[in-house]
């Protein structure tokens, strides 16, 4: 077997796809957390602006920081998720090409050995 053995390449691609899938899942979790931070920051800012519960300037600044931080995190993770999804699609296409290039034989096509 050589280093360019298709089964070895396919196995390496499958490992890469699994690693990329984990990265994509982690991005999705951060996207959810970012959206929660944005919503929470907006709610706190609304409460602060309306003067409910005696919230002060510190709460207003904190809520603005939450919204801005959530927006930055959301944008970054959305970009990373798109890139990761594109990498997964490319790896799956390459894996499919490698699998398609293997000369597979059906079991009933194999020569029979008589004992």
Give 49-111 as a DSSP string.
Answer: HHTGGG--HHHHHHHHHHHHHHHHHHHHHHHHHHHHHHHHHHHHHHHHHHHHHS----GGGSP
For the whole model, what pTM was predicted? 0.75
SS3 44: helix
pLDDT tens column, 10-65: 889 999 999 999 999 999 999 999 999 999 999 988 988 887 777 678 888 989 99
């Amino acid at each position: 077997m050589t280093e360019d053995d298709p089964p070895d390449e396919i196995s390496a691609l499958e490992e890469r796809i699994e690693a990329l899938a984990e990265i994509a899942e982690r991005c999705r979790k951060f996207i959810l957390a970012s959206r929660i931070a944005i919503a929470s920051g907006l709610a706190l800012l609304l409460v602060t602006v309306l003067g409910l519960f005696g919230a002060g300037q510190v709460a207003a600044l904190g809520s603005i920081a939450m919204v801005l931080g959530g927006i930055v995190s959301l944008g970054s993770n959305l970009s990373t998720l798109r890139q990761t999804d594109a990498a997964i699609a490319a790896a799956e296409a390459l894996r499919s090409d490698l699998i398609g290039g293997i000369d597979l034989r059906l079991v009933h096509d194999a020569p029979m050995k008589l004992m």
